[in-house]
Amino acid sequence: MTKIIALAGKGGTGKTTTSALLLKYLTSRNMTPILAVDADANANLNELLDLDVGVTLGQIRKELKGDIPSGMSRDQFMEMKIHQSLIEDSGFDLMVMGQPDGPGCYCAANQYLAMTMDKLAENYKYIIVDNEAGMEHLSRMNLRSIDYLLIVSDPSARGIMTARRIADITGPLQLEVKHQYLLVNRAPDPITPALQEKIDEAVAEADLNLAGIISSSDDLINQELSGKSYLQLGEDSTVIKQAFAVFDTIFAQ
């Protein structure tokens, strides 16, 4: 069975960085094949993986509003285009949602997308969804059952508060979440007593488990500045060791 891993949190907490580190973890552990979905309108997961983007799903949905090649239904056309949009790499494929649709109704296009995702999901062991601040892409892709919801926060009171709110709204959004975790990213080392108190409150008062804490890392900054893939970071790097320890905690469940 395909397992869905979704990342959420307020903007700027490092969801995309965490997605890249998670992808490195899964490929290093041979937990493949994987589909990584960049569902942020400001797509940049490909940059952290040093991959070029061709066609986005936003562009495909716009094409669906035009003429379809003769002899093809719209769902066949959507399925063909989605397969063409996949960026293939060793152990995983990357799909980029792209910019918002803009004016006009895309209900039918989103329905075709959901149907195609149902078929596509069968080809992967894991699907990682790097969400923007909202979580509406999960419903658009018909991913309402989530095995692991990883809520990422920065080391701030507002970030922790937002994480708690996200944990509370999964029910009203009719999302079935089997496991949900708080991950505090870019934290000082050691963390301050005030930050630890906020973390403890969030875990105690919301339906959350603490996955762990990842410190601020010069290795990640230098890797991004150099334009090199996060997948090339050595496992002896402190941030990789911390991230892998966090993910070991999650997947031990």
- Estimate the share of the chain in helix, then strand, then coil, as percent rounded to the nearest 5: 45, 20, 35
Q: Which residues contact 90 (CB under 8 A, 6 or more apart)?
A: 27
Which is more confident, 112 or 209?
A: 209
pLDDT at 251 over 60: yes
Ranges 55-64, 154-163, 198-207: which has the least confidence: 55-64
For residue 100, pLDDT over 60 is answered with: no
Q: Lowest-confidence range among 57-66, 128-137, 194-203?
A: 128-137
pLDDT class for 96, splitting at 50, 70, 90?
Answer: confident
Phi-psi region at 109: left, alpha or beta (left = phi > 0; alpha = psi -120 to 50): alpha
pLDDT at 136: 62
Give residue 112's pLDDT: 62
Q: What is the mean pLDDT of residues 216-235?
A: 93
Nearest residue to 170 via CA among 200, 201, 196, 138: 138
* Half-sphere CA count of 119, side-chain side, radius 13 A: 12
Whether the CB-CB separation of 39 and 132 falls below 8 Å is answered with: yes
**Position 101 confidence tier, pLDDT thresholds 50, 70, 90:** low
Higher pLDDT, 22 or 109: 22
Whose tokens are 């339906």? That residue is: 207
Backbone φ and ψ for 166, nearest 5 degrees, come out as -60, -40
Is pLDDT at 69 greater than 90 in this prediction? no
Segment among 113-122, 138-147, 243-252 with least mean pLDDT: 138-147
Find the mean pLDDT for residues 198-209.
88
User: Which position has the higher pLDDT, 27 or 119?
Assistant: 27
Helix 57-64 and helix 74-85, axial crossing angle in degrees, nearest 10? 160
Under DSSP, is residue 128 helix (H, G, I), strand (E, B) or coil?
strand
Residue 137 has pLDDT above 80, yes or no: no
Closest CA to 162 of 153, 171, 170: 153
pLDDT of residue 247: 96
Whether pLDDT at 41 is above 90: no
The predicted-structure confidence for 229-242, as pLDDT tens digits, reads as follows 999 999 999 999 99
| Range from 14-18, 28-32, 207-211, 241-245 carrying the lowest mean pLDDT | 207-211
Q: Kindly report the average pLDDT of the chain as a whole number.
A: 86
Instruction: Give strand ranges (E) for 51-204.
Output: 87-89, 92-96, 126-131, 145-153, 176-187
Please check whether residue 112 is in contact with residue 78, taking contact to mean a CB–CB distance below 8 angstroms.
yes
pTM, to two decimals: 0.89
Span 141-161, average pLDDT: 86
The candidate with the shortest Cα–Cα distance to 33, out of 90, 115, 113, 95, is: 90
Q: What CATH topology corresponds to 3-251?
A: Rossmann fold (3.40.50)
Q: Which residues of 200-211 are buried (b: 16+ CB within 10 A; e: fewer)?
A: eebbeebebeeb
